[in-house]
Amino acid sequence: MATHKPIIHVFSEINVGKYKSVKHYELIEVRNGSSLLTEQINISKDRNYAQSMPEYWLKVKIGTKWSRCITGLFKTCYNYVFKGDLQRKKHLIIIKFSNNAKTLIAYVFENYYTNDLSEVLTFIKDRY
């Protein structure tokens, strides 16, 4: 894990204040590789439909339509930081919101997934 660096996606909120339980974000920058997400993402509050009970759901925009939810986002031990997975636990994704949720950073650990987030969260907290 020590040499595994995440692909970092920086997003900024668009349509600020337009929706109550959904926020749309647009990709601003990608670091450490090629993007594994789309140019726009959608973060919506969970409505208690799934047994897994995530805090939020992540969708990507394909063409002009939003995909079905690609992952649930679950709380971590840090404020404003949530975890999920892409492609059925192939890639770990950590979402870090700014204090006002106007921006977010998505850290995607390509071909790496773990339930033990101690190293990953320390890596994110210390370096970015």
DSSP state at residue 124: H
Q: For residue range 16-43, what is the model confidence (pLDDT) as tens digits?
A: 777 778 999 999 999 998 998 999 999 9
3-class state of residue 125 by DSSP: helix
Q: For residue range 98-114, what is the model confidence (pLDDT) as tens digits?
A: 888 899 999 999 999 88
Q: What is the pLDDT of residue 1?
A: 46
**CA-wise closest residue to 73 among 91, 53, 90, 102:** 53
Q: What is the pLDDT of residue 105?
A: 94
Q: What is the pLDDT of residue 125?
A: 67
**Residue 17: partners with Cβ closer than 8 Å, 6 or more residues away:** none
Q: What is the DSSP string of 13-76?
A: EESTTS-SSEEEEEEEEEESS--SS-SEEEEEE--S-STT--SEEEEEEETTEEPSP-EEEEE-
- Round to whole Å and give the CA distance between 126 and 108: 16
Q: What is the pLDDT of residue 117?
A: 85
- Looking up tokens 């509050």 gives 45
Stronger pLDDT, 65 or 52, i.e. the higher one: 65
Q: For residue range 62-101, what is the model confidence (pLDDT) as tens digits?
A: 888 988 878 999 999 888 999 999 988 899 999 999 888 8
Q: What is the pLDDT of residue 16?
A: 79
